[in-house]
């Protein structure tokens, strides 16, 4: 494959297969704890001999905005995906943003394919597949894009590959399981062994991180699983860059109850019932493990409301870290103004934002709530199995990962 440019960045032609891994919800500390427990020998070597730093992801610290930033190299202000939902004022409806038409730029994959490279994209949940695979010319030997969730339904026409279960040698995992992520890694290894794509992107699910803190036995086992597959990709000669879409924090009180600011109820009390409309962009069809509770919300306010006064009252509420108007929030967090409400509200490290008490079904929450979405989940690992030539003092983002793994390998720069 040749070098290529996309979204204002140039990428050098790789000399070895490039593997970028987005470990969903991988708060800094998970990898280190598994290494300390002696359960992750590959990561131990990488921390010693490769490069490992903490960078910043995109706020809202949610899955889709960050996966799309990683695979485009730009912020949501440019690519347009700022959550799972936005409110369309014109139609007065809440619109799911996982349709590829909402993505405003080309992906690195599409540009790389145009330059002659072979692409493989494997995600845990199917909701991301369409966005990540947008514009790819799918087909055997060219590109494939599939999810572990719907691995059994993969077709050459839709996914560029079929018979995925036979390739991977595992059954379709349950959508709420560690197996959903293991399948992603197992598929990645088999793809690399069988047709050696030039670029392989693996994106997991944060099912484990939502339930288990860094250093706990289940978390360590999960990272040990990951370690064994990454070691195999490393042995196959791949250059690996690993990052996360967001971190993860405990979001409960001392009695292990979720610690929630019900923003719709608050605004209903101030402005009248239903006058404001709160959107929680974390909401998606798979809410069992977080009850649709995250640390970021946007709200649409009725005409004529004194926005500055509302923001001042919100900022004074316990548990609210930041309340900004649309323009200020989009500047600070690099978000698209046309897909955000009039105000943006971010809760503090151990608090989440809900709509109304009556609208959240928390019966699926079996463990004390851990979640994300806020500024407090912005730190994410950037880990490489090669030494990366970093620029001193620069703020690195998770969406620099392709640039770092393709352009900044120290031994290639020196050569």
Task: Catalog residues that contact Zn ion under the rule CB under 5 A.
Answer: 24, 63, 206, 245
Nearer to Zn ion, 17 or 65 (CB): 65
The residue number whose beta carbon is nearest to Zn ion equals 63
CB of 63 to Zn ion, least distance (A): 3
Q: Which is nearer to Zn ion, 63 or 69 (CB)?
A: 63
Torsion of CA 19, 25, 27, 28, to 10 degrees: 0
Q: Is the dihedral of CA 406, 186, 190, 132 positive or negative?
A: negative
Helix H, strand E, coil C: the string for 33-73 is HHHHCCCCHHHHHHHHHCEEEEEECCCCCCHHHHHHHHHHC
What sign has the CA pseudo-torsion 86, 89, 90, 94?
A: positive
Nearer to Zn ion, 72 or 264 (CB): 72
Task: State which residue, 245 or 342, has the beta carbon closest to Zn ion.
Answer: 245
Nearer to Zn ion, 206 or 234 (CB): 206
Closest to Zn ion by CB, 22 or 231: 22
The nearer residue to Zn ion, 182 or 206, going by C-beta atoms, is 206
Q: How many residues does the chain have?
A: 415
CB of 194 to Zn ion, least distance (A): 29
Give the span between the Cα atoms of 55 and 63, in whole angstroms. Answer: 16
378 in Cβ contact with 56 (< 8 Å) = yes
SS3 243: strand
CB of 60 to Zn ion, least distance (A): 11
Cα(289)–Cα(299) distance, integer angstroms = 24
DSSP, collapsed to helix, strand or coil, labels residue 262 as: strand
Closest contact distance (angstroms) between CB of 357 and Zn ion is: 25
The residues near 289 (Cβ < 8 Å, ≥ 6 apart) are 176, 206, 207, 210, 211, 364, 365
Shortest distance (Å) from residue 367 CB to Zn ion: 17
Taking the complex as a whole, the smallest distance from the CB of residue 209 to Zn ion amounts, in Å, to 8
Classify burial at 19, counting beta carbons within 10 Å of its beta carbon; exposed 0-12, middle 13-18, buried 19 or more. buried
CB of 204 to Zn ion, least distance (A): 9
Phi (first) and psi of residue 132, to 5 degrees: -70, -30
Q: What is the nearest approach in angstroms of Zn ion to the Cβ of residue 25?
A: 5
Of 248 and 340, CB closest to Zn ion: 248
Count Cβ neighbours within 10 Å for each residue of 127-155 and write b for 16 or more, e otherwise.
Answer: bbbbbbbbebebeeeebbbbbbbbbeebe
């Amino acid at each position: 494959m040749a070098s290529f440019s996309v979204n204002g960045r140039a990428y050098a032609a790789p000399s070895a297969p490039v593997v970028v891994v987005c470990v969903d919800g991988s708060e800094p500390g998970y990898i280190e704890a598994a290494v300390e427990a002696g359960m992750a020998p590959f990561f131990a070597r990488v921390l010693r001999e490769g490069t490992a730093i903490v960078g910043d992801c995109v706020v809202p610290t949610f899955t889709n905005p960050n996966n799309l930033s990683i695979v485009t190299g730009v912020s949501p202000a440019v690519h347009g995906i700022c959550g799972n939902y936005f409110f369309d004022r014109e139609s007065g409806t809440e619109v799911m943003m996982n349709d590829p038409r909402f993505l405003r730029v080309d992906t690195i994959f599409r540009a790389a394919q145009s330059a002659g490279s072979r692409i493989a994209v494997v995600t845990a949940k199917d909701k991301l597949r369409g966005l990540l695979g947008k514009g790819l010319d799918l087909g055997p030997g060219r590109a494939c894009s599939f999810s572990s969730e719907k691995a059994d339904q993969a077709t050459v026409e839709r996914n560029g590959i079929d018979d995925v279960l036979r390739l991977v040698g595992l059954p379709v995992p349950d959508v709420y399981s560690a197996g959903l992520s293991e399948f992603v890694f197992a598929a990645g290894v088999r793809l690399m062994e069988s047709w050696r794509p030039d670029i392989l992107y693996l994106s997991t699910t944060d099912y484990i991180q939502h339930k288990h803190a860094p250093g706990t036995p289940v978390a360590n086992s999960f990272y040990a699983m990951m370690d064994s597959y990454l070691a195999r990709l490393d042995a196959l000669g791949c250059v690996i860059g690993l990052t996360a879409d967001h971190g993860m924090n405990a979001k409960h009180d001392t009695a292990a109850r979720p610690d929630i600011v019900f923003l719709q109820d608050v605004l209903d009390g101030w402005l009248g019932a239903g006058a404001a409309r709160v959107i929680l962009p974390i909401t998606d069809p798979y809410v069992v493990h977080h009850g649709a509770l995250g640390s970021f919300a946007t709200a649409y306010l009725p005409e004529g409301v004194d926005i500055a006064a509302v923001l001042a009252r919100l900022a004074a509420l316990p548990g609210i870290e930041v309340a900004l108007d649309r323009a200020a929030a989009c500047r600070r967090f690099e978000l698209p103004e046309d897909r955000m409400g009039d105000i943006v509200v971010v809760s503090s490290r151990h608090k989440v934002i809900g709509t109304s008490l009556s609208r959240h079904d928390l019966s699926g929450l079996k463990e004390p709530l851990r979640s994300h979405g806020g500024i407090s989940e912005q730190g994410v690992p950037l880990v490489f199995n090669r030494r990366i030539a970093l620029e001193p003092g620069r703020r690195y983002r998770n969406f620099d990962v392709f640039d770092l793994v393709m352009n900044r390998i120290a031994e290639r720069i020196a050569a």
